[in-house]
Structures are given as structure tokens and as C-alpha cells.
Amino acid sequence: MRMACVLKKRFVPSVIGWLFLIPLLSILGACADTGSLDALEEQFRTLPMAARHQTGPLFWLHGEQSEQRLQMYLDKVVEGGNGCFVAESRLHSDWLGPDWYRDLAICLDAAKKHDLKMWIFDERGWPSGKVDGKVPQQYGSKYIEADAGVLVEGPTQWTQPIATDKLVAVIAGRSVDDGVDGESLVDLTDHVRGGKLAWNAPAGRWSVMTFTWRYSDGLLGRVLVDGASRDAVDWYIRTVYQPHYDHFGDDFGKTIVGYFYDEPETFGDWGTEVLPELKRRGVDWKRALVAWKSKLADPDEQVAARYEYQEAFAEAWGRTLFGGLSQWCRERGVLSIGHFLEHRKGYLDSRHCAGNIFQLQKYSGMGGIDAVFDQFVMGRRLARDVPTWQTPKLGSSISHVYGKPDDITMVEIFGARGQDLSYPEMKWWTNHMHVSGLNFFIPHSFNPRSPADQDSPPYFYNGGYEPRWPLYRVYADYTTRLNRMLTGGRHVCPVAFLFLGHSYHAGRALMPEDMTSALQDARFDCDWMPYDVFEKDVSIVGTQLSLRQERYKVLV
């Protein structure tokens, strides 16, 4: 159900609460039909399970608990007021083996019994994409390399040996004092036959550059799947995603609603889809390769061509891996969601998200972030870690500007915060998330091994050793009501902030966080808007920028 009304998100954490929510019901009466308002008010007051599906924890599976223990703990998930859970290997002793699917079947039966929605964590631990350290090298991430270039004085008949097993391209360009002349670049790849290049070089001084690729050394020696190569992504889906569907396909789109990825990383700078992406974008792929690994003589051309390469690599990774996962999921009635390492400008890190998180997560079912440790300090404005403080706005902007259904944005919250986490602090964190547009909460965590565990608490219920356990239901009800009220309808946001994306890597840059914080302090909401949305999807209507249902009065 979508509410036919306007919800203005101009609140700060200190003032959100019940005093806001109850009057809001009467406000909605002026802009919703009676039937939808009555249904909404009934859900708000009674919180049936159907209204709770956007609140639910990580549920840890180790492969050591009995069926009775898992069932008891899932009963506690329901008792706590949750409507969903993520079945996570942390770390399961038989991930993707019979015992893993046995434990998932136990979880699935309990979910059906209680009308819980179930998400499946797609890795044994993290980061997603390492497949428990079992990615074959042939499907691992890759780097592009280039030799220094062989200088050739023309005119001459030039020959040289070329290894072809990992060849990307051979490019020649006129060599000048400050690099290579971009206007003169010639593709010589088709001149390579039988392991030898033969070329009639014209007059002048030429640099002949050979581009090849190599496998990444991976993360601490572990190979990560190559998200920019279609064969690697196909293997990944066959190995991790398809077996779950083979076991539980009848419940996909019903009790099982999707997969959850966790902190994937983007090692490498090459994949088989990069060159097609450069060509699809209509840019000179030869200049992009030369600028990425060598130097074009024109400084402006050098910056622009490097930018185009980074854009193409990120887009290739996003479309191939995350777009591939989402397409596979959609065809089976479920979603692909998750989060990256966003904090401390990780959303622009080349290793964590190919340099621009928007280009990757726009292909997922919704925006999502992580909120862990003591990243958000309750009540201390001067203690704001500005890049981390604005990650909620990063996540919700992805959902808003790419038109994700009902503007739903996920946060995995309270991870590794410690068992001393207080409920006032939980409410304060939650308010900050809601103010910034997040409305799907995954608390960390329900751990059937607790209290005898040291792995990144807090654990809610905690094996019966948490005296504050009844307060969790109060928290879940509060969060669920906010989730329900701030989902659907039409997001009203007066300011669009043009997000710099890969421009960050091209020269001096002003980051969006300070401006966003200033706008929030002045009670103005804003969305971070990437270039691709601004260029392709935004139009001018009167004095406003129009993006689907969004209407922005100001562009920064």
C-alpha cells in the first residue's frame, strides 16, 4: 500500500518520537482516502506481522546448535517483535554443505510457522565474493598492465613478439615529450598473428604499447570473485545462489524474500566487460587505456580519459555482478540487498566499491549501509565523524534517486557495538537513521551460541542472560511504527546535491558531508544525486527539478 499523501522529512533525532507519530495520523487524514487511512492506522496501532517485515535481526548459524536450540531462538526473534531475519553463516561449519541446508530448513519451517520473512546471507563470513576462500583463480579479480612502450622510428616494417594468452590490446601512438598524442592512437591488436606483431609504421616516432592482464593476489592471499567478468559472475551464481534455489525454490518470493551481501570488495581494475563498456559509452577506449596505464600528452585529455576508464570499470562491475545478481533474483521473485564498507569515505574507495558506490548499489533492490562500533556518538554534536555521520543519507539517496520501490533503505545496525549498548542509545541511533531516510532495520544480532561467545556483541536475548530483554520488544515496536509510517507515499525533499562520484579521483574535490550536515541542521532534507541520474532522468518543470515523484527546488 502506498499512502496518497506527502510525508515531509524535516526532523532531527532529538524531536522524533511518539509526540510526532500520533499527530501524524490526523495529518494523514487530510491527504489519504478513508479506507487507506483506516488500514494504516490499524497497522500502526496493532502492529500485525505484516507490518513488521522491515524489522529483523541477523540470525547466526554455526552448524553446532540442535534443532531445538534454533527453534527456541527463532521463537525469541518473534517474541522480540521482529518480522524478518537474515540467516547468516557466522561461521558455519558446513556452509553450502548438507548441515547448512539442514539449518536453513529449520529456519524456514519456523519462518513459515510465524509468518517471518527470511533472507539468506550469501557468504561464510565476509566479504561476500570470497566463497569461503574457494574461488578458482580463473574466476578471480584481475588487473590490467602495460609495458613502457617500445619506441619505433617510422617509416618502417615493424615486428615484435607478443604473448596472446592474456592480451587485451596493442596500441600505437605518436610519442611526444609529454606523453602520447591521443589524436594519433592506432589499434594494432588485429595485426597480431601467431604470437607476432607486424605493422607498417608511418613516418614519425611511435610508442607501441602492449596491454595485458594478470590475476589479483586477492585479500590476504584469498581470491575474490571478479565482478567485472561475466563468466566469473555466472560461476558465482551457480556456486552460491542457485543451490539455495534448488533446495528451497518453492518458498522463493513467499517466505524467502532475498539474499543479503556483506562488505564485498572490488579488487583489480580489469574484467572482460570493461572494454565493451567503454565502447558502449561511445568513448575512445584507446585513450582510456593509455591514460589509465601511461600518459596522454594533453593534461586535460589525460584527466578526462582516466575518468572515463574508472567510470567504465565501476559500471562494468556494477552491471555485471550486482545487476546480474538482481536479475537472477528478480526472475525468482526475490531481491538482492546488502551493504559495502561505506564509512570514512569508503563509498569512493577503489578497493571497496570500484571508486563510486552509486554505480554498484544502484543495481541492488535498495540502498543499504552498515552502522557499527561507536561510529555515532549519542548527544555529542562535536563528536560527529562527518564522513560516517552522513552514510545514512548516502544509503537513502540511492533508494530515492534510482526509484527503488517505496523508497526502502536498509541499515545493518549496532554491529560490534558491545553488550553494554543501552536502549536510549539504540533509540538515538535509530532516530538518526530514520531522519536520514532509512526504514528497514537489521539489528546485530540474535546469536544461538550466546552468552558463551566473544564474536562482536551485542546479542539480543543473550541466551536468557540479558535482564533488559523485555525492552527489545519496546524498541522493535517503536522502530516498526516508524518504518511503517516512513515507507511509501511521496518523499518530499527540497534540495538535490550533485554527487561528485569519480570526479573525486580526477582532481581537487569538495565532499558532500559538510553541506549535507548544514542542511540537516537547518531542517532541510537533501538527496545526493549522481551524474548519471542528473543527466538522463531529471527534467525541469517550472522552477523545479523533476525526478519521477521527486521535486527539488534547489540544486547544489
pLDDT at residue 6 in the model: 33
| Spatial separation of the C-alpha atoms in residues 70 and 60, rounded to whole Å | 10
Grid look-up 584507446 returns: 286
pLDDT of residue 30: 34
Tell whether the model's pLDDT for residue 22 goes beyond 90. Answer: no
Q: Evaluate if residue 500 carries a pLDDT over 80.
A: yes
327-351 average pLDDT score = 96
Tell me the per-residue pLDDT of 309-324, one tens digit each, with 9 for 90 and over: 999 999 999 999 999 9
Q: Report the candidate in 301, 272, 276 with the shortest Cα–Cα distance to residue 185.
A: 301
Q: State the DSSP code for 318.
A: I
Residue carrying the nine cell digits 552448524: 63
CA–CA distance, 56 with 413 (Å, rounded to integer): 11
Average pLDDT on 61-88 reads 98
Of the candidate ranges 117-126, 151-160, 183-192, 515-524, the one whose mean pLDDT is the lowest: 515-524
Mean pLDDT calculated for residue range 495-502:
96
CB neighbour list of residue 495: distance below 8 Å, 6 or more residues apart: 519, 524, 525, 526, 527, 552, 553, 554, 555, 556
pLDDT at 382: 64
Which run of H or of E encompasses 543? none
Point out which residues pair with 215 in neighbouring strands: 142
3-state secondary structure of 517: helix
Q: Report the pLDDT averaged over residues 368-395.
A: 87
By three-state DSSP, how is residue 66 classified? coil
* DSSP-assigned letters across all residues of 387-456: HHHTHHHHHHHHHHHTT-GGG-EEEEEEET--TT--HHHHHHHHHHHHHTT--EEEES-B-TTTTS--SS
Assign 34 a pLDDT band (cuts: 50, 70, 90). Answer: low
Average pLDDT score over residue span 168-173: 98
Question: Quick check: 380 pLDDT over 80?
Answer: no
Amino acid in position 512: P
pLDDT tens per residue, range 399-432? 999 999 999 999 999 999 999 999 999 999 999 9
Measured CA to CA, the distance from residue 46 to residue 484 in angstroms comes to 12
Mean pLDDT confidence for 176-189: 96
User: What confidence score (pLDDT) does residue 7 get?
Assistant: 34
- State the DSSP H helix or E strand holding residue 59, giving kind and residue range, or none if neither: strand 58-61
pLDDT at 116: 98
Q: Hey, CA dihedral for 196, 199, 203, 204, is it positive or negative?
A: negative
Helix (H, G, I), strand (E, B) or coil at 11: coil
* Predicted pLDDT of residue 490: 87
Neighbours of 416 (CB within 10 A): 13
Residues 428-441, mean pLDDT to the nearest whole number: 96
Strand duo 409-415 + 367-372: pairing: parallel
Confidence check: pLDDT of 21 > 50: no
Of the chain, the percentage scoring pLDDT greater than 90 comes to 85
Average pLDDT of 273-292?
97
200-213 pLDDT tens trace: 999 999 999 999 99
Asked whether residue 15 carries a pLDDT value surpassing 80, the answer given is no
Mean pLDDT computed over 90-115? 98
Compute the distance between CA of residue 219 and CA of residue 227 in angstroms, rounded to an integer: 15
pLDDT at position 384 over 90: no
Least confident of 170-184, 216-230, 257-271: 216-230
Q: Does 482 score more than 70 pLDDT? A: yes
Q: Rounded to whole angstroms, how far apart are CA atoms 224 and 229?
A: 12
Q: Residue 14's pLDDT band (boundaries 50, 70, 90)? A: very low
H or E stretch at 171 = strand 167-176
Mean pLDDT of 90-106: 98
Share of the chain above pLDDT 70, in %: 93
